[in-house]
Structure 1
Amino acid sequence: QIGRKQVDVKRIMIVGGSGLGYETARLLEQDYQVTLVERDKDRCRLLSELLNDTLVIHGDASDIDLLREEGLEDMQVFIAVTANSETNIITSLMAKNYGVAKTIARVENKEYTYISQNIGVDTLINVKLIAANNIFRYVRKGRVEALTTLHGVEAEVIEFVVAKENRLTRKKLRDLHLPQKALIGGVIRGEETFIPNGDFQLQVGDKVIVFAMPEAIPAIEKMFR
């Protein structure tokens, strides 16, 4: 639900094919029509091999004509996760201007979060601040610290804490066999923040940010008990 208007989400555009962009597409392509725009040609080739049902486009995210050619005005959700915060905000504003109902932008500068309500971007994701903003507290069986929802997309953002040595700390992420409709989007370790790949290994005390569809949450909770 977006504001007071119910939006039927069918098509999603993602700009930025980094680890976060790839993992987001992998999660969403199972239930939505996803288009991913990435400027690096070699990365596009790799993404095309890794993703099963996502349309991967080689191009510059700031090229509004390209985005329109690829169906921007037919999208219900626009997710900007390039490495450049300004690009993410500007392209999200352009998407909103062309009628996209929900825009989500990744930012690195926490000051941007304070103006999000005024500039027209629906959601600003700052990996470091997801840990600090306990928007809702849930009493769950896992060591859950915070949970929020990406409105318009059914995925929930949950923060877990690795409380003790267990199989989570003994294996690389690729060997943990996460539920198919869940992904680890970020890890906060002390003052450092990571966008982990498959070779990453969790440690006790890590704060782990998980994006999960509702049906995957029970299995994720079980892993973090």
Structure 2
Amino acid sequence: MKIIIAGAGEVGFHLAKLLSYESQEITLIDPNKKSLAYADSQLDIRVVRGDATSISVLKEARINNADLFIAVTSSEPTNITVSVLAKRLGAKKTIARITNTEFIRHKDEIGFTELGIDELISPEALAAAEIELSLKQSSFNENYEFEDGALTMAGLTLSKTASFVGKTVKEAAEIFPEIHFVPIAIQRFGTQYTIIPRGDTRFKRGDNVVFITSEGGADELCRLTGKINQEIKNVMILGGTKIAYKTARDLSEKGLNVKLFEGNRDRAFEIAEELTKVLVINSDGRNVDMLDEENIADMDAFIAVGPNSETNIMSCLVAKSKEVKKTIALVENMDYFDLSHSIGIETLINKKLLAANDIFRYIRRGEVVAMTKLSNLNAELLEFEVKETSAVCNKLIKSIDFPRTAIIGGVIRNGVGMIALGDFKIQTGDRVVVCCLLKSIKRVEKLFL
């Protein structure tokens, strides 16, 4: 695919990096000479210096041949404007990064598609939604919902209390025949290798395991692994960022008790005026005495979404020392993922990764409805819609020539999620959730064309 990205900031650079690994033809546009020089030296891509709202710059980037145009500059008006221009100049599909989430809620009413913008994405809104889902399934360190929860991805680390530690996948299935979940990926403790489990794969203590669950499966998984899906009522948030604001607003509207720390006086008063159900405290959330004074030990969850990754991590560690059960940190450095999990922070949020996940489904072949990359695992979760022409259509799962480095986690049929095993027959219109290692993606895509 020929892909043009406007904006060489953190999201744009990260996207260009990931897409270049996929052997896509990438062109990156930015007016900043320094940002472009760094991207040019680090990545196998083409760079064009200039303002993306300039028609001549877009033509220099060969916009008329673009399969996908992605506008992710720091300016929302620029992203909207340049996406409209790109569509008019021949780009087949356009995506614009926005910060005003009202645009997403009223997308059809405004008619963004008619204007020339095929998709709107907000990394901040994606992060807030991820946080809310993590609180909903508080016992898991990684979550993702397909079709509003018809199927759910849940990741956790197996402790010695897990009922199936020491058993193979097949043995566990025989002991618990009525379960509504299936393992789709395993990372052994202390390794960087991702295993797609088969019947003879044995669960071990310390394994980081990703499951797909249908309705009721999450509760079963908690019981069998000794986890407790604690109800979250009292939440403390560090930071006055857009993510913090949206998270505090959404959680307080759902009846949760929310306290928010913001060190900047003007920003704290601004949030307090707009979010009347949230207790806003104008103080540095890293102050341990202040956290104690505000009863951090009584909190069910601590969410650190300030602008500094290191501060977010350290604040979560303070919360863990006060025995807060659920901690969530916003981090920008992907290298922190391994470190933070190893020291006990349950959930990490990365805006760049969330934005990339949302955009990546547009470059996958086949009818990809949704996708997510598994944190720290060299694997992707893809949701395909089955067409009459798909190679998997009207076939039993066990008869499909599926690569060993991929597995079907579940099927959504008429809005109902099901754990699909070997004798399940796939039909037209089914939405099939597949987990696969990166090396097998192209082969899996061909099955759903």
TM range (shorter): 0.5 to 0.7
Name the CA distance, whole Å, in 1 between partners of 2:17 and 2:146.
21
- Please state how far the C-alpha of 1:130 moved relative to its aligned partner: 2.2
Tell me the SS of whatever aligns to 2:347.
Answer: coil
Name the CA distance, whole Å, in 2 between partners of 1:90 and 1:55.
22
Please identify, of 211-220 and 86-95, the stretch whose mean Cα deviation from structure 2 is larger.
211-220
Structure 1's 116 and 99: CA in aligned 2 closer, same or farther, altered over 3 A?
farther
Name the CA distance, whole Å, in 2 between partners of 1:215 and 1:126.
16
Residues 1-225 of structure 1: matches in 2 within 5 Å? 10-29=1-20, 30-52=22-44, 54-117=45-108, 118-120=111-113, 121-131=117-127, 132=129, 143-146=142-145, 190=303, 192=305, 196-198=332-334, 200-201=336-337, 202=340, 203-208=345-350, 209=354, 211=357, 219-220=378-379
- Please state how far the C-alpha of 1:161 moved relative to its aligned partner: 7.9
Letter in 2 for 1:63: S
- Please state how far the C-alpha of 1:198 moved relative to its aligned partner: 4.8
For residues 16-59 of structure 1, the C-alpha deviation after alignment (integer angstroms, 9 at most, x for no partner) is 0011111111111233211000111111111111112x101111
Quote the sequence identity (%): 25
Name the CA distance, whole Å, in 2 between partners of 1:81 and 1:38.
10
For residues 186-221 of structure 1, the C-alpha deviation after alignment (integer angstroms, 9 at most, x for no partner) is x98837375713564544233453636779767347
Structure 1's 78 and 113: CA in aligned 2 closer, same or farther, altered over 3 A?
same
Structure 1's 92 and 103: CA in aligned 2 closer, same or farther, altered over 3 A?
same
Name the CA distance, whole Å, in 2 between partners of 1:82 and 1:51.
19
For residues 113-133 of structure 1, the C-alpha deviation after alignment (integer angstroms, 9 at most, x for no partner) is 134331221111111322528
Letter in 2 for 1:126: S
Name the CA distance, whole Å, in 2 between partners of 1:37 and 1:161.
37
Give the RMSD, CA atoms, in angstroms: 4.0
- Please state how far the C-alpha of 1:96 moved relative to its aligned partner: 1.3
Name the CA distance, whole Å, in 1 between partners of 2:82 and 2:124.
22
Contact 2:141–2:347 at 8 Å: present in 1 too? no
- Please state how far the C-alpha of 1:145 moved relative to its aligned partner: 2.1
TM-score (norm 2): 0.34
Q: Which stretches in structure 1 are left out of the alignment for 5+ residues?
A: 1-9, 135-140, 149-158, 169-175, 179-186
Name the CA distance, whole Å, in 2 between partners of 1:13 and 1:100.
9
- Please state how far the C-alpha of 1:69 moved relative to its aligned partner: 2.2
Contact 1:162–1:204 at 8 Å: present in 2 too? no
For residues 87-131 of structure 1, the C-alpha deviation after alignment (integer angstroms, 9 at most, x for no partner) is 111111111112212111111111121343312211111113225
Tell me the SS of whatever aligns to 2:96.
Answer: strand
Question: How many residues are matched?
Answer: 181
Contact 1:162–1:207 at 8 Å: present in 2 too? no
For residues 141-187 of structure 1, the C-alpha deviation after alignment (integer angstroms, 9 at most, x for no partner) is 98322369xxxxxxxxxx988867xxx9xxxxxxx799xxxxxxxx9
Tell me the SS of whatever aligns to 1:206.
Answer: strand
- Please state how far the C-alpha of 1:84 moved relative to its aligned partner: 0.5
Contact 1:15–1:21 at 8 Å: present in 2 too? yes
Structure 1's 116 and 90: CA in aligned 2 closer, same or farther, altered over 3 A?
farther
Pick 1 or 2: higher relative contact order, CA cutoff 8 A, min separation 6: 1
Letter in 2 for 1:146: E
Name the CA distance, whole Å, in 1 between partners of 2:74 and 2:372.
30
